[in-house]
Amino acid sequence: MAFRAPLHRFHIVIGEAGLHRTVSDSAVMAAQLVHLFSDLDRPNLRLGVIPLYCCHDADGAC
**23-49: per-residue pLDDT in tens?**
899 999 999 889 888 888 888 889 999
How far, in Å, CA of 57 to CA of 27, rounded? 37
Confidence (pTM): 0.63
SS3 at position 34: helix
Determine what percent of the chain is predicted with pLDDT higher than 70. 77
Bridge pairing between strands 10-15 and 45-50: parallel
Structural domain spans, the chain: 2-50
The strand pairing partners of 11, in sequence order, are 46
- pLDDT of 19 reads 87
Task: Provide mean pLDDT across the span 11-24.
Answer: 90
Q: CA 2, 16, 5 angle in degrees (round to 5)?
A: 15
- pLDDT of 8 reads 86
